[in-house]
Structure 1
Amino acid sequence: MGYKTIRAGQKALIFNELGEGRVVKGPRRIWLQRTETFQLLKVHIASQAQYLEVRDKEGRVTNHSGPCQMYLNPLEHDSIVTRDAMRLTADEMLVVYKQEDDKIERRLLYGPAMFVPSAHEWLHEFQWHGVDSKDKTRWIPNDHTFRKLSAIPGQMYYNVRDVRTNDDVVMRVKLMLFYELSEPEVMLNITHDPIADFINAVCSDVIAFASQLSYAEFHKQTSFLSKKETYPQLCQRAKRIGYDITQVVYRGYHASENTQHLQDAAIETRTQRRINTEIEGEKAKLASFKLNKELSRTAKRQEIQTAKSEHRQEVEKRMQSVEIEKEQRRHAAQLLRDAKDREELMKLEAEAKRQELGFLFQLKELGVDLTHYLVNQNPTKISEELQIVKEE
């Protein structure tokens, strides 16, 4: 009994002695009778990224997108819960189911989006193999539960255990798978756990591949484990459930301790041989390099000597040519001098003959017997001079 104050933004529920209640909204100041009870209502608030899930007394559920607020009225509501809206990035999607009457529809909601389910909608919850937190190559059934389905390419590590060759060597093959969801509707209709399908298919392919080879042959042909053609069952199964296997990467293998010890010893031996071969090859290359350099230097020296010899011969040849030219010029000069001397001599002789002939003509004019005179002077020249006189 007394006054009660209801502040602004508050609501209160007042019950009388008959159990009847009424809601009073503030700001207000009320008088309570002795038989009346007073109860402030709890307010529930949802932001822009939230919604209120309201369940009434009849069991009906409604969702109210934020921003909003609602008071929990015990006369009408059974519960009010604030829940976060589902945020989707551009590479995520949701599988949404909706019931209308007796019909249930399914749709895919692609991001980016903010999803608030209606009262008749619910989300598909996936439960796949999950990777072990302590071993990324070990997968645990039904360990990964989620609602957002990734649309971007994914990858997984997996070790295929108990792989046996045809000579009974048991080993563990390490792989890495790259896959991409291409048809979500097909995946939803065909499988409930694609990872399990991948594991089963890749195990079958690897076991089939190794069973046809001996341990030594397997070691030589491990490069084929990085080719998609080696995994026909994996590729077919992935295509059937709406996925594409983009690549398979072989990461190595691990055999038993004894086999691994023998393999390590063989690898060490081969490595040592390869190192020795490389060392010998480097030595041979060095020797060949030295020989080539020595041959090159010898050839250079020969070229230099040849060039010097040719230069010396050329100099000597030029000197001989110069000497020959000098000798030719001297000879030509001597010939010229001899020719000039002969010409002068002939001129002198001709002048002497003309003088002698003039003298003879003078004697002839004086009445001297030239024949008698000439015979007395030089009997050997009589005939010649007589001939000259006659010609004159």
Structure 2
Amino acid sequence: MTLGWRTLDVGEKALIYSKDGSSRIEEGPQRLFLFREVFKKMRCFSASQKEYLKINYKSGQIEHRKGPCTVHENEIIHVSVRIKNLISLDANEVLVVYTQSNKAEQVLRRIQYGPTLFMRGENEWLHNFSWHGIDSDDKTRMNPSQNNFTQLKVIADQFYYNVDEVRTADDAILRVKLMMFFELTDIEQMLDSTQDPMADFINCLSADVIAFAAKKTYEEFIETASDLNNLENFPLLLERSQTIGYTVSKVVYRGYFAHDKLQMMHDVMITRRTELRLKYEKEIQEQELTDKKLQAEVDRLEQEQQMELDKLLHDQKLEKDALQHALNLESKSHENTMDKQRRENEARLNEKIASDTVKHQYLQDLYILKVDLTDLLVTQAGKPTRVTNIIATKDSASIHLHHNDVSAYRVISKDD
């Protein structure tokens, strides 16, 4: 019991119990005088924008109140009031939420995608995943139930894994190192098909690698180990990934590890093969050098022959040009001579024509004067150097005789 004054500040509340067992709630700011009463301050719980209040009532009811909000804990009706953080989801994260339906008495499942701040309902709970996870001491080892979470990532991811105790056809024991890239594509199918996809992945990887190595000897495995980079060599992995809603985009072969003695033997063989390869490459280089020398000599001879041929062709061209020039000069000289002779002939012809024209005019004038031109011409011609007699019969064909000098011919008929 209390006797005296009590003060409540702004935002404070108090629960006052009277002597008869009744109670009341007083809210500040105020100053209270208490007489035979019990004074209990109510604890204040405040939630920000990223928080919510979980209120448990004595009636069994649970209430989730999203912030920002404030609640004073009332011990009469409240069992507890707790501040909880809202679940922050990124763009590549989801939550699997189960809801208990009061009316239908059944559980519904839904997928909550990010980005968002998520608050569970009073009748909701989240799916807890428990998968194989990476060992903190060895990133290539997967331990059961190592990875426990509620926020499921749907972005592409990868993990390292070493497949131990891989036996070849000649009983060599190897450890094969792999890296796998995968992506979740169907969440509902994954939830319905498997409880631990990582366990399915490592089991299928191990089975496919063991099947791949079992058909090959140690040397054959080393020569064909790069084929493990091809997805077609992982049929079980591809089939299982499609069944559980995943897509495997790539498997990378990172190497292998063998027993020390086996590795030593292999190193010796590698050294021997390397020496032989170096000798082979040296011989190839020497042969190539010899070939290049011979080829250079052949090219040099061909170049010299080409130079001689070019010189010969050049000399022939010069000689041809000289002959052509001389021929052109001779042709031009001949043309000049012929032109000169033509002009001289034309001059003589013109002179002859002029002389004949004058003579013809002279004879024509004499003919007009009734002069006997025949006697005149015979007299001027003098005695002929020769006389040609042509005798024709009566019925013979007519004969025409043309001669520049008519005085040299005499036609005599048969009657003469």
Common fold: TM-score over 0.5: yes
Distance 1:82 1:313, change over 3 A: same
Aligned partners of 1:107, 1:331: CA distance in 2, in Å?
Answer: 117
Matched, 1:218 2:221: yes
Matched, 1:180 2:183: yes
Matched, 1:191 2:194: yes
Q: Greater helix share, 1 or 2?
A: 1
Q: What is aligned with 1:349? A: none
Q: What is aligned with 1:121? A: 124
2:112 to 100, 109, 113: 109
Using the TM superposition, name which of 90-99 and 105-114 deviates more: 105-114
SS at match of 1:298: helix
SS at match of 1:8: coil
Distance 1:20 1:261, change over 3 A: farther
Q: What is aligned with 2:4? A: 2
Matched, 1:228 2:231: yes
Aligned partners of 2:269, 2:158: CA distance in 1, in Å?
Answer: 33
Equivalenced residue count is 349
Matched, 1:62 2:63: yes
SS at match of 2:161: strand
Q: What is aligned with 2:242? A: 239
Q: What is aligned with 2:412? A: none
Per-residue CA distance 1:131-160 (angstroms, 9 max, x = gap): 012221111110111111111222111110
Aligned partners of 1:232, 1:295: CA distance in 2, in Å?
Answer: 58
Distance 1:333 1:201, change over 3 A: closer
Matched, 1:43 2:7: no
- Alpha-carbon shift at residue 301 of structure 1 (Å): 2.2
Aligned partners of 1:314, 1:186: CA distance in 2, in Å?
Answer: 90
Q: 1:137-176 alignment to 2 at 5 Å?
A: 137-176=140-179
1:16 to 14, 18, 23: 18
Q: What is aligned with 1:264? A: 267
Aligned partners of 2:120, 2:29: CA distance in 1, in Å?
Answer: 35
- Alpha-carbon shift at residue 279 of structure 1 (Å): 4.2
Aligned partners of 1:201, 1:334: CA distance in 2, in Å?
Answer: 111
Using the TM superposition, name which of 202-211 and 264-273 deviates more: 264-273
Aligned partners of 1:205, 1:175: CA distance in 2, in Å?
Answer: 12
Per-residue CA distance 1:148-180 (angstroms, 9 max, x = gap): 111122211111000001211000011111222
Q: What is aligned with 2:139? A: 136
Using the TM superposition, name which of 115-124 and 151-160 deviates more: 151-160
Aligned partners of 2:244, 2:171: CA distance in 1, in Å?
Answer: 34
2:315 to 301, 309, 312: 312
1:30 to 23, 29, 32: 32
- Alpha-carbon shift at residue 46 of structure 1 (Å): 1.0
Alpha-carbon RMSD: 3.0
Distance 1:327 1:170, change over 3 A: same
Matched, 1:87 2:84: no
- Alpha-carbon shift at residue 291 of structure 1 (Å): 3.6
Aligned partners of 2:305, 2:201: CA distance in 1, in Å?
Answer: 74
SS at match of 2:139: strand
Distance 1:335 1:19, change over 3 A: closer
Length-normalised TM-score, structure 1: 0.79
Aligned partners of 1:23, 1:59: CA distance in 2, in Å?
Answer: 22
Aligned partners of 1:271, 1:72: CA distance in 2, in Å?
Answer: 81
- Alpha-carbon shift at residue 92 of structure 1 (Å): 1.4
Equivalent residue letter for 2:240: R
Per-residue CA distance 1:81-109 (angstroms, 9 max, x = gap): 11111122222111101112332111111
1:388 to 379, 385, 396: 385
Q: 1:300-379 alignment to 2 at 5 Å?
A: 300-320=303-323
- Alpha-carbon shift at residue 280 of structure 1 (Å): 3.9
Using the TM superposition, name which of 20-29 and 123-132 deviates more: 20-29
Using the TM superposition, name which of 233-242 and 250-259 deviates more: 233-242
Equivalent residue letter for 2:31: R
Q: What is aligned with 1:298? A: 301
Equivalent residue letter for 2:261: N
Equivalent residue letter for 2:148: T
Per-residue CA distance 1:313-367 (angstroms, 9 max, x = gap): 3323444555677788899999999xx9xxxxxxxxxxxxxxxxxxxxxxxx9xx
Distance 1:123 1:303, change over 3 A: same
Equivalent residue letter for 1:56: Y
- Alpha-carbon shift at residue 14 of structure 1 (Å): 2.2
Structure 2 gaps of 5+ residues are: 345-378, 388-406, 409-416
- Alpha-carbon shift at residue 120 of structure 1 (Å): 0.6
Using the TM superposition, name which of 89-98 and 241-250 deviates more: 241-250
- Alpha-carbon shift at residue 288 of structure 1 (Å): 3.4
Q: What is aligned with 2:208? A: 205
Aligned partners of 2:335, 2:182: CA distance in 1, in Å?
Answer: 105
Aligned partners of 2:335, 2:64: CA distance in 1, in Å?
Answer: 134
Distance 1:109 1:332, change over 3 A: closer
- Alpha-carbon shift at residue 183 of structure 1 (Å): 2.1
Distance 1:128 1:300, change over 3 A: same
Length-normalised TM-score, structure 2: 0.75
Distance 1:322 1:60, change over 3 A: closer
Distance 1:333 1:211, change over 3 A: closer
